[in-house]
Copies of this chain bind each other. A is one copy, B any other.
Amino acid sequence: MKSKKGKRELILEESAKLFSEKGYTATSMKDIANALGVEAASLYNHIQSKQEILGVLLLSISKKFYSGIIDIKNSSYPNKEKLKEIIKMHIRVVIEHQNISSLILRDWKHLKEPYYSEFVEKRRVYIEVLKEVVNRGVTSGELKDINPLIVLNCILSSLRWVYDKNVYLNIIDVNVVELERNILNFVFKGIDSEI
């Protein structure tokens, strides 16, 4: 490990792995040190606390989701295409950062300030933009006249299993583009073969 920055990155990566396997609460700084083959005390040269690690990890991914959805919102795509782009972006962020993504499902509750407020606010905006795109799509007739809240939950859930380690059926080594195509087809066209 050459530079201080490199070591910090390694600590973050290893922590994400351990948190996602064992949960934030059950993981100690000693566990992280052991996994890296260093003394626990030496971690504190690079990171202040377990809480800082969780905060940095969760905000890094929540910023990716956030800037992703804001860029799509501000694009000139029609609403239906915006929704497709959001779904693809969401899947890609999750697949590229599997360990951190799985923390979003449960461990965000362990965040303290200032991380907590920023995380919750970014998530609120994300849901808000998604809701707005669905509502506008319904109003413009691009999407069916559906109950937006129920559909929003269904869409978010259809995305969610991709990063839930408690999921019923894990799909290993999936082709991301094929996964995107299948989920988009499911959300937009359903499974019924009749037209």
Contacts and interface: CB of A to CB of B under 8 A. Distances in A.
Interface of A: 80, 105-106, 127, 134, 137, 141-147, 149-158, 160-162, 166-169, 171, 178-179, 182-183, 185-193, 195
Given A143-B191, A143-B193, A190-B189, A166 B80 contact: no
B150 A179 contact: yes
28 contacts: A106-B166, A137-B191, A144-B190, A144-B192, A144-B193, A146-B186, A146-B191, A147-B178, A149-B169, A150-B171, A150-B179, A150-B183, A151-B182, A151-B186, A152-B168, A152-B169, A153-B162, A154-B158, A154-B186, A155-B191, A156-B161, A156-B168, A187-B190, A187-B191, A188-B190, A188-B191, A189-B189, A195-B195
Nearest to A106: B166
A167 B152 CA distance: 11
A146 B185 contact: yes
A28 to B, nearest CB: 18
Contact of A192 (B157, B161, B189, B193): B189
Contacts of A144: 185, 189-193
B179 A153 contact: no
A161 B168 contact: no
B141 A182 contact: no
A105 B149 CA distance: 22
Given A142-B193, A143-B191, A191-B144, A153 B166 contact: no
A143 B183 contact: no
Nearest to A179: B150
Nearest to A192: B188
Given A147-B182, A150-B171, 7 more contacts: A142-B193, A143-B193, A153-B171, A154-B186, A156-B168, A157-B158, A188-B190
